[in-house]
């Protein structure tokens, strides 16, 4: 199946990145959100990020202009239904995703493939909310989307081979690499990554080390480009906590119990970089550890 037009639902951090790479790859993109301000902010972010690519000679001025012209912002989910491939990229909340998917279904063309950028939620459960579980799968990008080369492709129990092969072809056209994952909680990347961040939270909670010592230990001792607490702030501590709950609930193993300190930070609204505070305070010129 040929994909020419892509719909992206959700204009946040992940959604605008997905629209960015899809448009640069030559796809016409409908970028949908319920909030006009969010759409305008997303278009501004895409413009800024593409300009950064131009300044680094990664793309040309003409590439940027052509890609921006291919993105159509929309408040109407019906416009998304006119595309060949839909990528739902709303917040990591199953109830919200279900409502979006159920509202989208009546507007879909018969051939349209529906996917979710979920980082942890069951693809099989989400697919069951549609009229086409065989044409539904997980299409999980890494953050930041324009820079990260991996996409996890996750088949639900009903996903057919044509849908998988079509999505695999799209990943190739984006010049990214696909990792095929089975539909188990948090898939591959977050099944390994988020418990590491949670364990770093426990090390902080139990007084094994402070924020700086834990992050420096992993950066200098394990050659990680970013410490686990800094990475948690970058991802969003609310997202990290949500994924830990998915792992704990889905696998029923106490090793996935969310750290109480992670829960406390989320309750305080200290969600990381996007909130100005997390394990680091970002309100000054340089981030300062909060513990």
- CATH of residue 259's domain is 1.10.1040.10
pLDDT, tens digit, for every residue of 54-105?
Answer: 999 999 999 999 999 999 999 999 999 999 999 999 988 899 999 999 999 9
**HSE (CB half, 13 Å, CA atoms) of 291?**
22
Q: Give yes or no: residues 35 and 172 share one domain.
A: yes
pLDDT, tens digit, for every residue of 153-207?
Answer: 999 999 999 999 999 999 999 999 999 999 999 999 999 999 999 999 999 999 9
Examine the fold and report which residue of 125, 148, 182 is the final residue of a domain before the chain moves on: 182
Per-residue pLDDT, averaged over 103-123, amounts to 95
In a domain, 127, yes or no: yes
- Which residues belong to the active site? 119, 140, 152, 190
Q: How many distinct structural domains can be found in the chain?
A: 2
Instruction: Kindly provide the b/e burial profile for residues 9-47, where b requires at least 16 CB atoms within 10 angstroms of the residue's own CB.
Output: bbbbbbbbbbbbbbbbbebbbbbbbeeeebbeebbebbe
Question: For residue 274, how far is the Cα from the chain centroid?
Answer: 15
In a domain, 288, yes or no: no
In a domain, 269, yes or no: yes
In a domain, 290, yes or no: no
Q: Give yes or no: residues 147 and 209 share one domain.
A: no
Give the range of the structural domain holding residue 275, as residue numbers without chain letter: 190-283
Q: Give yes or no: residues 195 and 138 share one domain.
A: no
- CATH of residue 54's domain is 3.40.50.720
């Amino acid at each position: 199946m040929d994909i020419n037009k892509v719909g992206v639902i959700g204009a946040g951090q992940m959604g605008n990145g997905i629209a960015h790479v899809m448009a640069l790859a030559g796809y016409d993109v409908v970028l949908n959100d319920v909030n006009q301000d969010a759409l305008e902010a997303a278009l501004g972010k895409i413009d800024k990020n593409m300009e950064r690519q131009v300044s680094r000679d990664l793309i040309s001025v003409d590439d940027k202009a052509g890609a921006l012209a291919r993105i159509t912002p929309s408040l109407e989910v019906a416009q998304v239904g006119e595309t060949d491939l839909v990528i739902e990229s709303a917040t990591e909340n199953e109830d919200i995703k279900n409502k979006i998917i159920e509202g989208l279904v009546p507007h879909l063309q018969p051939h349209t493939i529906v996917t979710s950028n979920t980082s942890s939620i069951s693809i099989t459960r989400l697919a069951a909310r549609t009229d086409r579980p065989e044409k539904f799968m997980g299409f999980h990008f890494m953050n930041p989307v324009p820079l990260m080369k991996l996409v996890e492709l996750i088949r639900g129990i009903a996903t057919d081979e044509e849908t998988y092969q079509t999505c695999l072809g799209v990943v190739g056209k984006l010049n990214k690499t696909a990792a095929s994952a089975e539909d188990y909680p948090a898939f591959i990347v977050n099944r390994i990554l988020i418990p590491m961040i949670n364990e770093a939270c426990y090390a902080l909670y139990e007084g094994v080390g402070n924020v700086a010592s834990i992050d420096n230990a992993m950066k200098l001792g394990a050659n990680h480009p970013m410490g686990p607490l800094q990475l948690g702030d970058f991802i969003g501590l609310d997202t990290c906590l949500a994924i830990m709950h998915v792992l704990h609930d889905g696998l029923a193993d106490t090793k996935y119990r969310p750290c109480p300190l992670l829960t406390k930070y989320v309750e305080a609204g200290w969600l990381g970089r996007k909130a100005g505070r997390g394990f680091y305070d970002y309100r000054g010129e340089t981030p300062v550890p909060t513990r």
